[in-house]
Structures are given as C-alpha cells and as structure tokens.
Amino acid sequence: MAALGRRQALGTAVAAGGILATPGLRAQGRPDKLVYIGENQGGWKRVLMEEVAPAFERETGIRVEFTMLPVDAWRARLKAELGAGSSGIDIAQWSVGMAGWMSPHVLDHQEVLAKITGRDPGFDWDDFLGGSKRAATYDGKLSGIPYRVTTGILHYQKPILERAGFNKAPQTFAEFERVALAVNTPPERYAVGVMGKQGSGLYSTLASWLYSAGGRLVDFRTGEIFINEPKAVESLQFLADLVVKHKVTPPEVTTWEYDEIIAGGQRDRYVMCQTFAPYGTLINDPANSRTAGRWAWDTVPGQTAKEQSRTWIDGHFLAVPRYARNADWSIEFIRMACSQRWQLRSMERGNAPPRGSVLRDTDMTAKLGWPPVAAAAIETGFPTPAHPAWDTLELALRTGVSECLLGQKTAKQALDQVALDWQRNLRRAGIRRG
C-alpha cells in the first residue's frame, strides 16, 4: 500500500506539471537516493537536511543521504573520492577556499544553471548577489550554485555609542579608534571584540581592515606579493594597536575564535566588533544574550572615507561532480535548495543566503536587522583566495598576525617575514614572480 501511495503521489506530480514532468529527468531514471557530502560545523544546514530533503523525497521518491563531516575529514573525503573519479558522490558541498582543487572535478555550472532556469524560469539568477557569483567562480568557471555566503560587517551596541555622543557607527579608522577610546570601560566592558586566536578565524579578523585600507594579498598568476606593502602594514598595525597599545579589547581575545566572539557579545564583554554577519542573530538573541536589543549593524569603516569600505566574502556552494551518475536529479535538488522560497526559510533557521531578495526581505530585516547590511557588503567584497596554494600561505599569515596581536613584532616586521615565507612557498608551488 505504501508503494502504491508513492506511485500515486508521483503520478499526481507528473500530471500536475511537477518536476518529474521534465523530459531529462524522466529519461535519466530515478535512483533510490542521492549522496550528499558536506561539512557539519554550525546549524545553518538544518533547513537543507530537515525540510528541503524531505520535501524533495515527497516530490520525487528519492532520499537524500547526508554525510556531514568535520572540516578536515570533509575536505579529505572529497579530495580522495573526486581525485579517484568516484561516482559515489551526487552533491558536493564546498567552500570558497576549496575552489582551486574542486573546480576540475565538478560540472561547468553555467551549464547546470541553464538546466535549472530551463526547468524553472523563476529561479532568477540575477537575484544572487554579485559577490556570491564571484566567490562561486574559479579561473573563469562557475563551479557551484551559492547556498550560504558569509561576510564581515560591523556589529555595535547603539545605545552605548549614543550615550558617548556618537549618533552613528564609525565611518573611518580614525573614528573607530576615537569611539573605541570613548566607550572602553574595563574591566567589565571593553570597546572592541576580536577573534585573535591563531587559527582559521584570524584571516577574517584582518581581512576587512586590510581591504578597507586598500591592501592586497598576492597575485597567484605572477607570484607577486603585496602583503607587506604599506597599506597592508597600516591595516595590521591599526588592528594591533587596538589590542596592544590602546588596550580596548578584552585581555583574553588572543584565545577567541568563533564561539568566543559570539559569547563575548552576549556577555557584554565588548561594544563593537567586525565579524561574521549572521553572528548578529546569535549575539542579539533574547533567549541567550544579556545585550539583546542593543545591537545595530553597518558596513565596516573605510580607512579615511566610508566609500573605501571593503570586506571579505566566504561561504558554501552546492555542486554536481563530473562523475555523478544522477546529475539531473542532483541538479533538481540544488534547484530546490537554492530557490527563493527555501532560501528565505533557511534564513529563519540560521543560514546566510546569497539572494538579494532574501537578505533585503522586510520581515527578515525587521526580525534580524543585519541582513541588508550583509547584502551591501557582499556586493563589493573580496572572496577568500581559492588557489590551492592559499592554504599554506594562510598558515604563515596566521603566525604573523598572531605575533603582532601579542605585541611580539610590529606589523612591518611580522608581514615582512610573512612575505619571505610566501616567496618560498610560491616557488615550491611553481608560481614565480613575473
């Protein structure tokens, strides 16, 4: 009876012009399941797993089997299986920094996109923010469809700034420093929160200041290194001075990473921070935060003018491997997951969608506050480097930034050493100065 019920339901979907009426899908045949390989950090995938997948199964009769792994295991699994040309993965979730080695193993997603829009003219690729498309593209190839795009924005406790005489968020580095000195009231509350632990979050701690100062990293085509040029040095020295010279950060920030920056905001340990946009939901959560209701958001300051404001972009993308046997069904799942309807729903449960219409939705803006600020930041932001050599370069950068935040080196000393390390690593990778 259950099998008959499923067949009747599927027949109804076809008759109604549902997804099974698509000729390509009928021709390919229907598998029992699709295998999805992803990363298990954070709860932003709950809608994908708990709502989209069951809806997809109801419509198609195909179960989605999720294998969600810790970061290192996730990357290793994808590298091993895709490197071997395995057909055992139907949908691969990847993040920006993985694009260099993932791109050769996935379909050209311009072609995937053409299939999606052919089936669903209302999918509206123009609704995806420009920064999310740049982040999903490597070496000219669209290598996935954006599902989650994070970026750095300024979070600040508006009432505290107003009591100190500031009626808006700081617009420049100098204003930020001035506000920080004015609202710093140690040891109970400090002015600025920083993810200062020598770990994976440290790049995002520096990047907004770096890009807003006009700094650059490296040109992977020529091997030219910019990380120790004056603008980059100025940005790191500004950040380090907040910690070491002005002491406007909690003394424990060199142990802070993702969970700690959230908890610090909830516990009223700081007034301002530059961090992941969706953390605003958690920091401002009335169920868990003693500072709930005080927070406001803006794009990060520019060095000398607000127009210079630039930030980093990272995120996750859904892709169909070149070797997948059920590519058309994988594409259909991605179409559903990345549709405006399900993206809006995912935002209610912790996702940071790449669609402008979702981030600027009036109800979401009223509920969460930060989404339209994130949309503005994503439009002009810089994706995390995706070249395969970046993983090695970032480790050296973490060391240099950490030494500076600990007061062990000046920014110039630290970044000069980073540049030397980068030169050696780029030579080993076969990338030389032009």
> Would the pLDDT of 95 be above 90?
yes
Which residues have CB under 8 Å from 384's CB, separation 6+? 96, 97, 135, 203, 207, 312, 313, 314, 390
> Would the pLDDT of 380 be above 50?
yes
Count of beta carbons in the 10 Å neighbourhood of residue 126: 10
> Would the pLDDT of 406 be above 90?
yes
> Rounded to 5 degrees, what angle do the CA atoms 68, 69, 75 make?
115
- Please answer whether residues 235 and 301 qualify as being in contact, where contact means their C-beta atoms are separated by less than 8 angstroms: no
Each residue of 327-338: pLDDT tens digit?
A: 999 999 999 999
Average pLDDT over every residue of 117-127: 96
Average pLDDT over every residue of 11-27: 46
- Please answer whether residues 170 and 153 qualify as being in contact, where contact means their C-beta atoms are separated by less than 8 angstroms: no
Average pLDDT over every residue of 68-97: 95
Q: Tell me the C-alpha distance between 99 and 317, whole Å.
A: 10
Note the pLDDT of residue 433.
61
421: DSSP letter: H
Domains in the chain with CATH codes: 2-150+315-382 (3.40.190.10), 151-312+384-428 (3.40.190.10)
> Would the pLDDT of 10 be above 90?
no
Give the residue carrying structure tokens 């994976």: 200
Each residue of 39-52: pLDDT tens digit?
A: 997 789 999 999 99
Each residue of 220-260: pLDDT tens digit?
A: 999 999 999 999 999 999 999 999 999 999 999 999 999 99
- Please answer whether residues 386 and 144 qualify as being in contact, where contact means their C-beta atoms are separated by less than 8 angstroms: no
Each residue of 255-294: pLDDT tens digit?
A: 999 999 999 999 999 999 999 999 999 999 999 999 999 9
- Please answer whether residues 361 and 159 qualify as being in contact, where contact means their C-beta atoms are separated by less than 8 angstroms: no
Q: Tell me the C-alpha distance between 100 and 95, whole Å.
A: 10
- Residues counted in the chain: 434
Note the pLDDT of residue 350.
84
Query: 28: pLDDT confidence band, cut at 50, 70 and 90?
Result: low
> Rounded to 5 degrees, what angle do the CA atoms 76, 82, 86 make?
120
- Please answer whether residues 374 and 277 qualify as being in contact, where contact means their C-beta atoms are separated by less than 8 angstroms: yes
